[in-house]
Amino acid sequence: MEDLELAQELLQAKNNIVAEIQKVIVGQDEVIENLLTALFSKGHCLFVGVPGLAKTLLVSTLAQVLNLEFSRIQFTPDLMPSDITGTDILHEDSVTGKRSFQFIKGPIFSNIILADEINRTPPKTQAALLQAMQEKQVTVGSTTYPLSAPFLVFATQNPIEHEGTYPLPEAQLDRFMFIINVAYPNKEEEIKIALSTTSGELPNLKPILKAEEILKFQDLVPLVPVSEHVARYAVELVQNTRPQQNGSAPDFIKEWIDWGAGPRASQYLILGAKAKALMDNRVAITIDDIKSVSRQVLEHRIILNFKAEAESIKVNDVIGKLLETIKA
């Protein structure tokens, strides 16, 4: 009974969060839905979209509505790992004159991290996020420092500029639960954006949740039951992205794919589906829930081969074909 009451609180909180965000963000309903799905699933997100689509504003607004500490890190070619994690500095006591090293925390020590244009910094600096995203802690020198919960990384990258960028390695990409594509607004939405941003009026946002409440909701999501046939569908979907797995992969997978998704994709499909069900006022997940998060989970985990690229095949084309092929 307590879990059912908490599920109702999560649903109400989700609706209130969306209402507050929509005071600032026009449209982008699907993007907001995916963002909250990842939030309640403890998942990190990679936002892909051209500049000016309010990706940064969306994340900072979410942090404000959730009353969480927020850090924006602008990833540049000269950014160093210590600029993210922090560093030890030599400190001298003004009274005793004794010297000792003192750790100065970097911007990673927040609840919500915005890694802006993450593909503009070299791999060594990108890797500084890796331990934090996976282990929720940072090691500097010989000391490990825990990060405050909740801890989420939301990164952005521009899909059209490739000069001077460093593609994220697969190990880093796999740490992101979702990839979220942010599209241009439609005509009516752009009119609303033009009017609201030039009016001089700032919306009054009110905090909806506390950190402790978010953690309770995040702990509730894994408790949502999942039937064996739904779990089997999720795993089958992932395994059929792998041309090397066995002889059962569809012919188009063998023809177009170099590497498929790893086991973490199956976990994220089920976790995301559980969060979706709760946000839709349901306490059990369906195959449709798995399908609804499949593109967000799989798109950055499937690597096309040269033949697919030569034929202008996109990863989402493959995922769509796969969803039609794999039967429940």
Domain with CATH 1.10.8.80 in the chain: 224-328
Q: What are phi and psi of 313, to 5 degrees?
A: -80, 135
Instruction: Mark the ranges of the chain whose per-residue pLDDT is less than 70.
Output: 1, 162, 164, 246-247
Helix axes 2-21, 55-66, angle to 10 degrees: 130
Question: What is the DSSP secondary-structure string of 91-133?
Answer: EE-TTT--EEEEEEE-TTSSSEEEEETGGGS-HHHHTHHHHHH
Distance set, CA 247 to CA 233, 254, 271, 310 (Å): 18, 9, 28, 25
Tell me, what's the pLDDT at 246?
Answer: 62
Label residue 107 left, alpha or beta by phi (over 0 means left) and psi (-120 to 50 means alpha): alpha
- The DSSP secondary-structure symbol of 223 reads G
Tell me, what's the pLDDT at 219?
Answer: 93
Tell me, what's the pLDDT at 164?
Answer: 67
Beta bridge partners of 157: 48
Separation CA 313–CA 304 (nearest Å): 8
CB 114 within 8 A of CB 59: yes
Q: What are phi and psi of 71, to 5 degrees?
A: -130, 130
Tell me, what's the pLDDT at 131?
Answer: 78
Beta bridge partners of 187: none
Domain 1-223, CATH: 3.40.50.300
* Residue whose tokens read 């609840």: 111
Domain with CATH 3.40.50.300 in the chain: 1-223
Tell me, what's the pLDDT at 195?
Answer: 87
Domain boundaries 224-328, CATH class: mainly alpha
Tell me, what's the pLDDT at 204?
Answer: 82
